[in-house]
Amino acid sequence: MNSLVLRKTALGRDLAAKYAAASATGRLSPRQKPARLRRKGPVLWAVLALLVLAADFLLAYLAWFAVDFVMG
């Protein structure tokens, strides 16, 4: 158990030293660049909402038509 604790402590020290060196230089290596997330504009969300609403109305109309066809 002691060797496991020592390995975790050594790993923690290695990681701390690595990130301290990266922050001291102010530059990150290419592998450590944060991912840039492109924000989707509100227009795209509005179009998606309208598309879902149109599909909902279409399904409601088809259900109404099917019930009318079966009952009448």
pLDDT < 70 regions, the chain: 1-11, 15-40
Domain boundaries, the chain: 2-71
Per-residue burial over 28-47, b if 16 or more Cβ lie within 10 Å, else e, is eeeeeeeeeeeeeeeeeeee
What local confidence, expressed as pLDDT, does residue 55 receive? 98
Look up the pTM and report it. 0.42
What local confidence, expressed as pLDDT, does residue 2 receive? 66
What local confidence, expressed as pLDDT, does residue 41 receive? 83
What local confidence, expressed as pLDDT, does residue 14 receive? 72
What local confidence, expressed as pLDDT, does residue 64 receive? 97
